[in-house]
Amino acid sequence: MSEAVYKGFSKEDSATAVRVLSAGAVKPGLLRLVDGFRRESGHDVKIVFATAPAIRDRLGSGESVDVLIAPTALLDDLLKSGKGQAAGRVTVGRIGVGIMVRDGAPLPKIATVDEFKQSLLNAASVVYNQASTGTYLEGLFDRLGIGEQLKVKATRYPDAANVIDHVIKGKGNEIGLGATTVITEAEKEGLKLVGPLPAEIQNYTTYAATVTAQGAARDAAQALVSYITTPAAKAFFAAAGIE
C-alpha cells in the first residue's frame, strides 16, 4: 500500500512528484490506484486528503497542486475561479452514506425510513461530520421531522477520522454516519458498517478528478488523471465500494 500520504506538500515536491489534493472519501481506492500508477509510469505521487471545505480553503490560500479529486460541485466552482480544467476532468465514481456502530455493539434497525428514524431517536448520541455529508444529513433530519430532537445529542466533527474515533471509543448506544467507503476501511480498527441509508433517502456524492491550471507537473498529472479511466483503476475503485 502506498505510503505517499502527507499533511502538506514541500517545495521540493513540485519538482519531483505529482501533488494530489483529494477528498478523503475516495482514499481506499485511490491509494491502490496510485500504487499501480507509480509502478507502471515511474512517476512519484504524493497525496494530501482533506474534506471539501478544507480543499476549498487550501486552494483559496494559494496552495498549488497538480491534481484535484473532489465532489463535482466543488470542481465546478473551482473551474469558474480558474483553478481547474474542464478538458482534463474524469469521473471517479459515486459514494453513498452509511450507518456505523462500534464492533460488537447492537445493530440498529435501518431497513426502512421509519426504522432508521426510530434508531436515531433511540441512540445515546448521533455522530457525523461538518463536510458535505453532514450538510446533507442535517437537512435530512429536518425533513424527517427529527432535527430538533437530534440536536441535543448530535456531535459533529470537521472530518471522518474524528467521527470514526468517537464511535469506536464509545461506551453506549452511539450511531455514526459517513461515507460508506470510509466506514468499510475502518472496520479493521473496530468499526462496523450496519448498512447504507434506506434507498428513499440515500444521497450519493459524485467525485471527479481534474488537472489544475496552475500545476507544475502537467504531463505527469494528465497521465495520472487518464489512468483513472483505465479498467485497472475502475476495478480498484469498485473494490473499495465506489460505484
Ramachandran category for residue 80: left, alpha or beta (phi over 0 → left; psi -120 to 50 → alpha): alpha
Same fold, 13-94+206-239 and 97-201: yes
The CA distance from 202 to 196, in Å, is 8
Q: Are 1 and 35 in contact (CB under 8 A)?
A: yes
In 3D space, the residue among 216, 217, 214 whose CA is nearest the CA of residue 81 turns out to be 214
CA angle 194, 33, 4 (to 5 degrees): 95
Which pLDDT belongs to residue 2?
44
Which pLDDT belongs to residue 6?
47
Distances (CA, A) of 35 to 1, 43, 47, 128, 203: 7, 10, 12, 30, 30
Helix or strand holding residue 81 (H, E): helix 72-81
Domains of the chain, by residue range, sit at 13-94+206-239, 97-201
Q: What's the CATH number for 13-94+206-239?
A: 3.40.190.10
Which pLDDT belongs to residue 110?
97
Which pLDDT belongs to residue 7?
58
Pairing of strands 154-157, 125-129: parallel
**Domain 97-201 homologous superfamily, CATH:** Periplasmic binding protein-like II (3.40.190.10)
In 3D space, the residue among 106, 168, 97 whose CA is nearest the CA of residue 139 turns out to be 97
Query: What are the 10-residue block averages of pLDDT along the chain, 243 residues in total?
Result: 50 70 91 92 92 85 87 83 65 95 94 97 94 90 96 92 93 93 90 95 93 77 92 90 89
